[in-house]
């Protein structure tokens, strides 16, 4: 079984984000980690390998720094890694990123593709479904349980109102939700082995993807500071009238 896990290197969730003068996020002094939801995807890939055999490949897009995240995944137990290392992807939109990732995964070969439900830095939650669309295979998002039997998978996924059970044919894409499993920590032996495991570099040119039409994120801005709240004094009836007036004339919500 060929299991491919797409991961992303993100800022630590406790990091203080600062914008530089050009409207870009300043990485100085910020700790970078594997996107937490992607850790559930890695763990599920390893569990599938242990149960059914095969190979786990982790793949990411980014600059040289992203090798650290891939090496961590290798230390957890993945067999090999691929880094799409190309400055042309800096600031690329979700469509372009998914197209590039899909081309790379197609070259690797796959039976199951796993990724996190959402990335904690941009909150886009688009990669999984876009990968499935590009590869013309089914996808199931926000999974809490995954059982594989041959070429079929029985899945429990989280919904707004609870859970839903789905059966899907493989190959397919699954996005991991918190609660799917408990990610393992890399062992000392795993860290040592990870240094010798293969890490392949690819570029956009290697994959034959035309990024001429991609959108670029050129600037980030912090949201405007919230105004202080207002306290309306007086009797309840008079205060209610004043509140209704403010909601209508200032807030313009009624």
- Provide the 10 A C-beta neighbour count for residue 88: 16
Higher pLDDT, 159 or 23: 159
Q: How far apart are CA 209 and CA 111, in angstroms?
A: 23
Asked if residue 27 belongs to a domain, the reply is yes
237 and 143 share a domain? no
Average pLDDT (82-96) is 88
pTM over the 0.75 mark: yes
Asked if residue 213 belongs to a domain, the reply is no
Give me the CATH number covering residue 157: 3.40.50.620
203 and 229 share a domain? no
Asked if residue 218 belongs to a domain, the reply is no
For 174-209, what is each residue's pLDDT tens digit?
999 999 999 999 999 999 999 999 999 999 999 988
Residue 23 has pLDDT above 70, yes or no: no
Determine the pLDDT at residue 51: 96
98 and 156 share a domain? yes
């Amino acid at each position: 079984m060929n299991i491919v896990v797409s991961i992303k290197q993100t800022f630590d969730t406790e990091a203080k984000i600062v914008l530089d003068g050009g409207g870009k996020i300043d990485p100085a002094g910020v700790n970078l980690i594997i996107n937490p939801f992607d850790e559930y995807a890695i763990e599920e890939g390893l569990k599938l390998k242990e149960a059914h055999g095969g190979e786990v490949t982790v793949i990411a897009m980014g600059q040289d720094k992203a090798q650290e995240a891939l090496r961590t995944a290798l230390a957890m137990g993945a067999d090999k890694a691929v880094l799409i290392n190309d400055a042309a992807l800096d600031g690329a939109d979700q469509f372009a990123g998914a197209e590039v990732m899909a081309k790379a995964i197609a070259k690797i070969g796959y039976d199951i593709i796993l990724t996190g439900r959402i990335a904690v830095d941009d909150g886009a939650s688009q990669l999984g479904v876009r990968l499935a669309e590009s590869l013309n295979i089914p996808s199931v998002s926000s999974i809490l349980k995954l059982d594989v039997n041959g070429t079929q998978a029985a899945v429990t996924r989280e919904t707004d109102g609870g859970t839903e059970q789905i059966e899907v044919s493989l190959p397919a894409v699954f996005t991991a939700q918190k609660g799917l499993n408990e990610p393992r920590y890399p062992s000392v032996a795993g860290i040592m082995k990870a240094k010798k495991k293969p890490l392949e570099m690819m570029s956009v040119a290697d994959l034959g993807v035309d990024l001429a039409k991609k959108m670029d994120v050129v600037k980030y801005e912090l949201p405007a500071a919230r105004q202080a709240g207002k306290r309306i004094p007086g009797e309840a009836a008079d205060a209610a009238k004043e509140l209704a007036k403010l909601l209508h004339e200032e807030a313009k919500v009624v």
